Structure 1
Amino acid sequence: MTDARRQLQRGFSHIDTWVFDLDNTLYPHHVNLWQQVDARIGEYIGQFLDVDPVEARRIQKDYYKRFGTSMRGMMTEHGVSADDYLAYVHRIDHSPLKPNPAMGAALERLPGRKLILTNGSTAHAGKVLERLGFGHHFEAVFDIIAAELEPKPAPQTYRRFLDRHRVDAAKAAMFEDLARNLVVPHRLGMTTVLVVPDETQQVVREDWELEGRGAPHVDHVTDDLTGFLATLAASAA
């Protein structure tokens, strides 16, 4: 990081609200839980459009990049029902997730509110948090339904979130695994943290999903969210 970038980097001493993405953020990338969802999305698209797996995969990834989620693309281009889509793609095995008491302890010690902002569903978030064992530390989950089916990184989604939960963006921090989803939060005044793979385990991600570590809208980068939060909690004590 350059000296100029370091001087512009936002800190945490003023933060009173901690906002977290869910998938690949609150649990390690290498769990590859999202790989199951990813496969279910491809199956759904293939069945709905009656196309082969290769074409379904192409459409899935094209819509993901262009619309923020494949679901939004399928809704916009093909009139898919969000309820049917979400019920199908989130029907996965959550057992690879293990309890993380260390992160729970760090979250408990962080001063202020904790919220989740996810492009997934509340039902999926509930299952993830139950497995991780620290869902009780979060005040609320703002999901794709609350976002009126408009996913991150749509600017209006962040505004809806901030308004609904009365969050002052200038006093909030946002944790995300996709750099593009931090552009708007940073513009709104939030301190931004990009959560990246620890590079010791194999992860299943697109190349573009792993980009952005040096982007100007990324204030901090960590490959160990538990340790990062523990350090923040200790410094706030």
Structure 2
Amino acid sequence: MTECPRSFGHIDTWVFDLDNTLYPHHVNLWQQVDARIGEFVSNWLKVDAQEARRIQKDYYRRYGTTMRGMMTEHGVHADDFLAYVHKIDHSPLEPNPAMGAAIEQLPGRKLILTNGSVDHVGAVLSRLGIAGHFHGVFDIIAAELTPKPARETYDKFVRLHDVDPTRSAMFEDLARNLVVPHELGMTTVLVVPDGTKEVVREDWELAGRGDPHVDHVTDDLTGFLQRLVAA
């Protein structure tokens, strides 16, 4: 017997991933970061772009982030990696006042949980015009450089921000990053591309929408939040 998806009536903490969640997949801001990561790997390991790409994606899948793989396998310092890969053009992001208004009306706290850096979070939220709606950010530094989907990272987040998972909802663009939140008791929402424009993602990154740990799926986060507020 299939269980009913968890609902939102009891939620008092709203947890959001950043990249490809709070802005549309087709903006492809991550494509810029992705390219910078490839350049970093190529320069550090002195390999060509094709080999760097292979290593980058292998580490991303095995370690959760390419940075973690580069740290573990090659002694890279996180500060050097983050400073390089997040030096991107944020101008493709446009203000989203409708989403900001919906987030503001959600009852309770709103938090960011990301594998990116707090500086990157600040730049993205500023461009979207929604920075003032969040009560805290848990980034890769707060995670002590251990990225999602590691269980210990969610445990640290819950402790640091005094989160009751059974009264929380998590919004993410990668299904695998919702496994632990669901196990902890969170209501989970997978944010997927809307299908109107091409997105630059690996096939596995777009998988999992039918998995049992995904309670809800949306290709329109703003509309989804507006419907929650209205309800």
TM-score by length of 1: 0.97
Opposite residue 57 of structure 1, the aligned amino acid is: R
Which residue is equivalent to 1:95?
91
**Counterparts in 2 of 1:24-173, with a 5 A limit?**
24-173=20-169
Could you list the structure 1 runs, at least 4 aligned residues long, displaced by more than 3 angstroms after superposition.
Answer: none
SS in 2 for 1:115: strand
Which residue is equivalent to 1:229?
225
Opposite residue 162 of structure 1, the aligned amino acid is: V
Opposite residue 91 of structure 1, the aligned amino acid is: K
Opposite residue 106 of structure 1, the aligned amino acid is: A
Which residue is equivalent to 2:187?
191
Structure 2 residue runs without a partner (length 5+): none
**Counterparts in 2 of 1:6-25, with a 5 A limit?**
7-25=3-21
Residues in 2 aligned to 1:106 and 1:201: alpha-carbon distance in whole angstroms: 24
Which residue is equivalent to 2:177?
181
Opposite residue 123 of structure 1, the aligned amino acid is: D
Residues in 2 aligned to 1:131 and 1:19: alpha-carbon distance in whole angstroms: 20
Residues in 2 aligned to 1:200 and 1:91: alpha-carbon distance in whole angstroms: 28
SS in 1 for 2:120: helix
User: How many pairs were matched up?
Assistant: 231
Which residue is equivalent to 1:215?
211
Residues in 1 aligned to 2:89 and 2:137: alpha-carbon distance in whole angstroms: 21
SS in 2 for 1:8: coil
Query: Displacement, 1:234?
Result: 1.1
Deviations along 1:66-114, whole A, 9 cap, x unmatched? Answer: 0000000000000000000000000000000000000001011111100
Opposite residue 90 of structure 1, the aligned amino acid is: H
RMSD: 0.6
Residues in 2 aligned to 1:93 and 1:16: alpha-carbon distance in whole angstroms: 34
Residues in 1 aligned to 2:79 and 2:130: alpha-carbon distance in whole angstroms: 27
Structure 1 residue runs without a partner (length 5+): none
TM-score by length of 2: 0.99
Residues in 2 aligned to 1:109 and 1:208: alpha-carbon distance in whole angstroms: 34
Query: Displacement, 1:30?
Result: 0.2
Opposite residue 127 of structure 1, the aligned amino acid is: A
Deviations along 1:166-187, whole A, 9 cap, x unmatched? Answer: 0000000000000000000000
